[in-house]
Structure 1
């Protein structure tokens, strides 16, 4: 249990940041799923539009510290390769 005011504040801040970061990760996953569902549907134009929308979200996740830059780069690369293969 936190005994100092600083430790109590740190717990409050950590809880709030975890909530915010969870929402950001969820938002990114939603954008990626839109691309994947468009790929499954076989519609290249819709998939390309969804990919264009997902790329800035992934980059924003990296900038905000929610995900590692190599993870985002890997996801973008794999998605774009799958869209190009349609």
Structure 2
């Protein structure tokens, strides 16, 4: 357990940040699952619209350092390929 005041303060700050990051990461994952569900249902138009919103969630998570840049790029590429595969 933390003994000095600065360590106690850091524990509180880290907990607040963890909760905020968890929330944003959860929103991003939910958006990804929504796009994948639309792809499974062969709903091309709604999938494209959902993909656009999902890109914003992924970019925001990368910008805030919640996920790594390469991880974000990989997720966006995979989703884009899935959605583009519907049109073919």
TM over 0.5: yes
User: CA–CA distance in 2 between the matches of 1:84 and 1:18?
Assistant: 35
TM-score by length of 2: 0.95
Unaligned runs of 5+ in 2: none
TM-score by length of 1: 0.97
| 2:32 equivalent in structure 1 | 32
Q: How does 1:7-86 map to 2 (within 5 A)?
A: 7-86=7-86
Q: How many residue pairs end up in the alignment?
A: 86
Cα deviation 1:23-57 (Å, max 9, x = unaligned): 01001011111100100100111111110110011
Structural RMSD (CA) = 0.6
Unaligned runs of 5+ in 1: none
